[in-house]
Chains A and B, each alone.
Chain A
Amino acid sequence: MKSTKQKQIIKILIYILIPVVIVAGATAFGTKKYAFLSIVVMLLACVPFFVSFEKKNAKVERMLALAVLTAISILGRYIFGFIPHFKPITAMVIITGIYMGGEMGFLCGALSAVVSNFIFGQGPWTTFQMFAWGFTGLMAGVFAKQLKENKPALLLYACLAGLSYSLMLDVWSTIWAEGEFNIKRYVGYIITSIPTTLTYIVSNIMFLLILTRPIGEKLDRIRKKYGI
Chain B
Amino acid sequence: MKVFENYHPIVLFIYFISVLVIAMFETNPVILGLTLLGGVLFALLLVEKKRFVKDLVMILPFMLLVALTNPLFSHNGVTPLFFLNGNAVTLEAILYGIDIAAMIMAVIYWFKCYQEVFGSDKFLYLFGKIIPKVALVISMTLRFIPLLRRQYKKIADAQKCLGMYEDKSIIDKAKVVMKNVSILITWSLENSVDTSMSMKARGYGIKGRTNYHNFKIHKMDKILLIITLLMDVTVFTGMITGNTTFWFYPEITAIKTTLLAFTSYLAHAVLSFTPFIIELKENLKWKYYVWKI
> In the complex, are the beta carbons of B196 and A63 less than 8 A apart?
yes
> In the complex, are the beta carbons of A68 and B188 less than 8 A apart?
yes
Chain B residues contacting A64 (CB-CB under 8 Å) are 140, 192-193, 195-196
Bin chain A's interface residue count. 35 or more
Chain A residues contacting B62 (CB-CB under 8 Å) are none
> In the complex, are the beta carbons of B189 and A68 less than 8 A apart?
yes
Complex Cα distance, B194 from A225, in Å, reads 13
Q: Which of B155-208 contact A (CB under 8 A)?
A: 178, 182, 184-186, 188-193, 195-196, 199-200, 204-205, 207-208
| Proximity string of chain B (12-24) to chain A, C-beta cutoff 8 Å, 1 when within and 0 when not | 0000000011001
Chain B residues contacting A57 (CB-CB under 8 Å) are 205
Q: Does A32 contact B (CB under 8 A)?
A: yes
Q: Which residue of A lies closest to B193 (CB)?
A: A226
> In the complex, are the beta carbons of A30 and B245 less than 8 A apart?
yes
The prevalent SS among residues of A at the interface is helix
Chain A residues contacting B192 (CB-CB under 8 Å) are 61, 64-65, 67-68
CB within 8 Å for A67 and B141 given contacts A54-B134, A218-B185: yes
Point out the residue from B27, B144, B193, B236 that lies within 8 Å of A30, measured CB to CB: B27
Q: Which residue of A lies closest to B25 (CB)?
A: A29
| Interface-facing stretch out of B42-50, B106-114, B222-230, B271-279 | B106-114
> In the complex, are the beta carbons of A67 and B111 less than 8 A apart?
no
Complex Cα distance, B20 from A122, in Å, reads 12
> In the complex, are the beta carbons of A72 and B185 less than 8 A apart?
yes
Chain B residues contacting A78 (CB-CB under 8 Å) are 145, 149
> In the complex, are the beta carbons of A71 and B144 less than 8 A apart?
yes
Specify which of B20, B25, B115, B207 lies most central, judged by the most chain A CB atoms within 10 Å of its CB.
B25
B-binding residues in A (CB < 8 A): 1, 24-25, 27-33, 35-36, 39, 50-51, 53-54, 57-61, 63-68, 70-72, 74-75, 78, 107, 111, 114-115, 118, 121-124, 176-179, 182, 184-185, 188, 210, 214-215, 218-219, 222, 225-226
A-binding residues in B (CB < 8 A): 20-21, 24-27, 66, 70, 72-74, 100, 104, 107-108, 111-112, 114-115, 120, 123, 131-134, 136-138, 140-142, 144-145, 147-149, 152, 178, 182, 184-186, 188-193, 195-196, 199-200, 204-205, 207-208, 236, 239-240, 242, 245-248
A-B contact pairs, 23 of them (CB 8 A): A28-B239, A32-B24, A35-B24, A35-B25, A36-B25, A54-B132, A54-B133, A58-B133, A59-B196, A63-B137, A64-B193, A67-B140, A68-B188, A71-B141, A72-B185, A74-B141, A111-B138, A115-B138, A115-B141, A118-B123, A121-B111, A121-B112, A122-B115
